[in-house]
């Protein structure tokens, strides 16, 4: 199997990146992580790239042409899949069109519920019975593309933002890899 060369975009802790790196070591897993891009030079996730000798780049998104710089690197590393793993920047329509290949994102809610930020606070405020995570294709609408996989759990009355986050992330760590296997099952 020829593994798809993949770039993971991060902004923070990178725990999803860590699980993707581990799973990509399996020879039957459809991707190899060829590049990590962070928009935050202090992102802890960069350490996982360093530890595993994966090339990484810190991109200054305040620069006017930062998307062109990213596109150039994606081309250089022959990237055919982008995974947004806690990347807290919106991907522009221009970038989507220029890249033209698959981009997937993980979001900590059962989309289409609770798009955007501060999901756990809003989930609790809304007294939801269930929550979870979604992996979906990225389109020009925020958290709006087609769903690939969702995993859920029941919220109990003792849950708070912290426990919801922990439970959601535990599911995310499996969901992201399962979604990747699913999208490459037939090619
Ligand atoms: C994840 O929970 C992911 O769902 C969320 O950021 C976290 C990153 O964690 N993404 C978003 O909220 C995107 N809207 P990680 O850096 O430990 O992988």
Query: Concatenated DSSP letters for 65-130?
Result: THHHHHHHHHHHTT--EEEESS--SPPPHHHHHHH-SEEEEEESS-TTSS-SS-HHHHHHHTT-SE
Report the predicted TM-score, pTM, of the whole model to 2 decimal places: 0.97
- Give the pair of three-digit tokens for residue 30: 């459809």
Helix 161-183 to helix 15-24 angle (10° resolution) is 30
* Nearest alpha-carbon partner for 159 in 146, 168, 171, 150: 168
Candidate of 108, 138, 152 to mutate for ligand 1, largest count of ligand atoms within 8 Å of Cβ: 108
Domains of the chain in sequence order: 4-184 (3.40.50.170)
At residue 1, the pLDDT reads 84
Whether pLDDT at 163 is above 90: yes
* Residues near ligand 1 (Cβ within 6 A): 10, 12-16, 45, 85-86, 106-108, 169, 172
The predicted-structure confidence for 1-54, as pLDDT tens digits, reads as follows 899 999 999 999 999 999 999 999 999 999 999 999 999 999 999 999 999 999
Active site residues: 107
Q: Which percentage of the chain shows pLDDT scores above 90? A: 95
């Amino acid at each position: 199997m020829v593994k798809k060369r993949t770039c993971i975009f991060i902004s923070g802790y990178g725990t999803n990146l860590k699980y993707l790196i581990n799973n990509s070591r399996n020879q039957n897993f459809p991707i190899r992580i060829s590049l990590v891009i962070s928009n935050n030079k202090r992102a802890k996730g960069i350490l996982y790239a360093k530890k595993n000798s994966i090339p990484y780049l810190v991109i200054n998104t305040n620069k006017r042409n930062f998307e062109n710089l990213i596109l150039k690197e994606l081309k250089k590393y022959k990237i055919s899949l982008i995974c947004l793993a806690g990347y807290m920047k919106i991907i522009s329509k221009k970038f989507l069109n220029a890249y033209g290949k698959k981009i997937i994102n993980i979001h900590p809610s059962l989309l289409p519920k609770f798009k955007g930020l501060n999901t756990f606070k809003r989930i609790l405020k809304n007294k939801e019975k269930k929550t979870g995570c979604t992996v979906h294709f990225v389109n020009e609408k925020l958290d709006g593309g087609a769903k690939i996989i969702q995993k859920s759990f029941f919220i109990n009355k003792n849950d708070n933002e912290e426990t919801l986050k922990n439970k959601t992330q535990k599911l995310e760590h499996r969901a992201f890899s399962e979604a990747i296997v699913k999208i490459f099952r037939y090619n």
